[in-house]
Structure 1
């Protein structure tokens, strides 16, 4: 049985202009509590501490995390054979692109050798177990990614830098 879909024309509607709106006068009920809109007084500041200043908490910015996530996802697709290693070039700094692509290609060949040695019908895909991020300075992020395929666990290390408002890979190592 097939359901019939009827399309009906939408009536023309334009919202009223500001000068066409009637002013809305609101009168509060007599028993409603009044809100206190006065500005609070600021709390006194603590006395200055002696000693070294507190160090910043290490971590990566949101943009850096997103860039690493995107690059790792693309790298795993290359390692699984779903993409050619040349696709890593567009997310790499042009001066380092050849090294990044070569590392991706070497990793894909290594995974292929592991799969041929196993000779199973459905080889286990490469999967990400954990990602550790560090932003040593503003505009640079380093990541260590724990990968697993079948019973083998290995690591991928990468560095990305911010160049011309885009995060690009400058180093990729498979360990």
Structure 2
């Protein structure tokens, strides 16, 4: 049998082979004899009726979820809320915001305590800055309060607790806070500066 080979452009493509059509056509259905097309290894279909299937079992309800254990870490939403609140607290401690701004991110029942802690922390930072430069004017840019480390824990869904290590100058502080999810918004319930 003769072949016609077409050349492909240079590169990684294979060449294409074209073959002539065979001189005879495949047989029609009425010309086929079963012995010609069936082989010894071919499986036959079983067309006998199958027995009726048993009725479906009722679906059992899924088992109740296991209580979630306390795991170090928290959900993404909780992490984002804590990071925003800590950033706000640092701005209050540095004197860039008034402590009253903490009220809108706190539960109404605990807002007064959260704002009071923010105010006390801002006063302590101001006193430390004055004590660092008693004889002369304080520097134009005092050393800011900065976050060294932040640890999160979600003891139950909808509540997150955080421990924050802060530094200003040579002084290291600790801040503890708790936030809870109320009406699809994270609100601070507790703030403590140590």
When normalised by structure 2's length, the TM-score is: 0.61
Q: Please report how far the alpha carbon of residue 83 of structure 1 lies from its aligned counterpart in structure 2 after TM superposition.
A: 0.2
Alpha-carbon displacement from aligned partner over 1:76-131 (angstroms, at most 9, x marks no partner) = 00000000000000000000000000000000000000000012413210000000
1:114 to 128, 137, 140: 128
Q: Secondary structure at the match of 2:74?
A: coil
Q: Distance in 2 between matches of 1:151 and 1:123?
A: 12
| Alignment gaps of 5+ in structure 1 | 1-29, 32-52
Q: Please report how far the alpha carbon of residue 164 of structure 1 lies from its aligned counterpart in structure 2 after TM superposition.
A: 0.2
Q: Distance in 2 between matches of 1:116 and 1:57?
A: 42
Q: Please report how far the alpha carbon of residue 158 of structure 1 lies from its aligned counterpart in structure 2 after TM superposition.
A: 0.1
Q: Distance in 1 between matches of 2:158 and 2:188?
A: 12
Alpha-carbon displacement from aligned partner over 1:39-85 (angstroms, at most 9, x marks no partner) = xxxxxxxxxxxxxx9x8571200000000000000000000000000
- Which structure has the larger Rg over C-alpha atoms? 2
Aligned length: 125
2:98 is the counterpart of 1:97: no
Once the two structures are superposed, the pairs formed by residues 63-74 of structure 1 within 5 Å of their partners are: 63-74=77-88
Q: How large is the Cα RMSD of the aligned pairs?
A: 2.0
Which residue does the alignment assign to 2:181? 162
Which residue does the alignment assign to 2:58? none
Which residue does the alignment assign to 1:151? 170
Which residue does the alignment assign to 2:21? none
The answer (yes or no) to whether the contact 2:166–2:175 under 8 Å persists in 1 is: yes
| Alignment gaps of 5+ in structure 2 | 1-14, 17-65
When normalised by structure 1's length, the TM-score is: 0.68
